[in-house]
Amino acid sequence: MASLNRCIFLNKTHISSSCSPLSLKRHSESLKLSSVISERNDRVLMESSLKDSVLELDPVSAVNDGVLDFYGEVMAMEDQGVTPWTVSVASGYNLLRNPHHNKGLAFTDKERDTHYLRGLLPPTVISQDLQVKKLLYRIRQYQVPLQKYMAMMDLQESNEKLFYKLLIEHVEELLPVVYTPTVGEACQKYGSIFRRPQGLYISLREKGKILEVLRNWPEMGIQVIVVTDGERILGLGDLGCQGMGIPVGKLSLYSALGGVRPSACLPVTIDVGTNNDKLLNDEFYIGLRQKRATGQEYKELVHEFMAAVKQNYGEKILIQFEDFANHNAFDLLEKYGKTHLVFNDDIQGTASVVLAGLIAALKLVGGTLADHKFLFLGAGEAGTGIAELIALEMFKKMNTPLEDARKKIWLVDSKGLIVSSRKESLQHFKKPWAHEHEPIQDLVDAVKVSFLPSPFKFLHKPMKVPISFQDIKPTVLIGTSGVGRTFTKDVVEAMAAINKKPIILALSNPTSQSECTAEEAYTWTEGRAIFASGSPFDPVEYNGNVFVPGQANNAYIFPGFGLGLIMSGTIRVRDDMLLAASEALAAQVTQENLDKGLIFPPFTNIRKISANIAAKVAAKAYELGLAGRLPQPKDLVKHAESCMYTPSYPNYR
């Protein structure tokens, strides 16, 4: 019975004395196919066991003069324990409900006959391309972004290949639907829109059993895991278990943009509770109803998870940390970066994509990175991660001593400018950015400098500020605060007063948390800003010119970065790989893009971009001796393209 409880997969056709020859034939075929396609020995029941436990059972009388079926439905009504079992061979009705194999109306007449679909579908046969056209039309009918998100999730759960083909072919239109900014609202309302589980939920209740939980996942060939604990979802705060929308969305992009097989992707949420009282009092909340666990209890659960993942999937499994709070994110990356293949997209992915944008922007403003000054609003994992990678690029490419490079970078947090007098009270990841300067509370004061009368018409009187402010003079303003509209008119105009082409990056997500809008940036700088944001903004017309804002979206980096790690069999992530990814992305920005003010390439070419990033990352892994798949392919770009998942329908025999 223990093996029976582990899941018995049988054909739905009831085996009894009244079975037809066709039913018996289908049952026999199903059993044979089941033993061939099963990837897990503990889910395969020997034919002798099947015969003993099912085939020799005789129908027995049941209530209402019915016959007891083998699903135990009648016994279930009598409150007796039954064993759930289902079909293992994808055919007939069940094939249409298997998202990995379903083709909908694209099943050919021959396939409908072979796989018992005749009559289960309308008679017409249409192509996958026509299906894409039809679904895109339907999604465009929705006016509310969350409705579009739910429609896409429904498609992913019913026809996986069609979902990815639609997303790949219309990525610029649908990326904001399946990811930022819409995914933020989806996470906030995840409990009320929750339909089918799309990953593993590991809570405190599973402590001591996490390896067993991982083995419950039906796929064994996992190559990448995206995991969150839901404490800092985008700029929305603690959403607890409902943060699952982020790993699901990220892994959709791994497959669509980076070509990693969907079956090789596993979304995971670690649920240790939430400090969000609104969720705890929400009857639709799907997570643990308790305050968030911290300290040793939290560390032990995460450590068990990390050990179980490595034990179950091996050394080369990529674990991407997503939306952990600052106090855990840095510690986890530091601790497990030495023993696992780990990557934090908020710290490292954001840094890599922003650095790429800055490298591309140099073609518009001139000079090298070392010639510029950087001022950040926000000193969390994103801000400090970007700052450190910028300094590292100066150190590696321009031979600027790392300490000197850091002095060109200034950070403002909720208490003002980070300066040396605050060093004792700072968190460890902020301390490298505590430079000598008098305290400044407001961002606008950190931007302003004393200067000669300006030719810009919006300045009516000179700014009188202390002379010590002159040593900042930022040429680049970067927002990672998670607080909307903090790049005020005064701040942006001050940037324009000291820079011919101020670089302004409002990176916080979702759109409501963006430090300023594209329209504000272009208007307040009289069309001179080089602007990019975390969430997408529409083109802006100003004084007869149309400006196209760029989007510093992590989706440029992490899918290709992950593909490069996977295809090379890399066992550890190093900063040099992040720099390689940044340079590869910046190289994809054309002069035509720059002429429009874009410092990132269009997403229409994202699969090509990802292949180039993957190749550079893999090359760096081979150079550092961290790649495990030997020998190294001669053409890494072509190899990356050949590794990519393609969501075209197969022909079924």
Return the active site residues. 179, 250
Instruction: Provide the sign of the torsion angle of the four alpha carbons 555, 601, 626, 261, taken in this order.
Output: positive
CB atoms within 10 A of CB 2: 5
In terms of Cβ atoms closer than 10 Å to its own Cβ (0-12, 13-18, 19+), residue 194 is middle
Q: Residue holding tokens 């939980």?
A: 213
Tokens describing residue 328:
């855990």
CA dist 142 and 127 (Å) reads: 24
Q: What angle do CA 272, 274, 275 make, to 5 degrees?
A: 135
Contact 268, 281 (CB under 8 A): no
Residue type, 652: Y
Torsions phi, psi of 296, nearest 5?
A: -65, -40
553 is in an annotated binding site: yes
CA dist 517 and 530 (Å) reads: 13
For residue 597, the 8-state DSSP code is: T
Longest dimension (CA), the chain: 99
Residue 67, beta-bridge partner list: 61
CA dist 431 and 449 (Å) reads: 25
322 is in an annotated binding site: yes
232 is in an annotated binding site: yes
* Nearby residues of 256 by Cβ (< 8 Å), 6 or more positions away: 164, 167, 168, 171, 559
* Nearby residues of 382 by Cβ (< 8 Å), 6 or more positions away: 346, 347, 350, 351, 480, 507
Known binding residues for (S)-malate are: 232, 509, 553
Name the binding residues for a divalent metal cation.
Answer: 322-323, 346
Query: Which residues does the annotation place in the binding site?
Result: 232, 322-323, 346, 509, 553
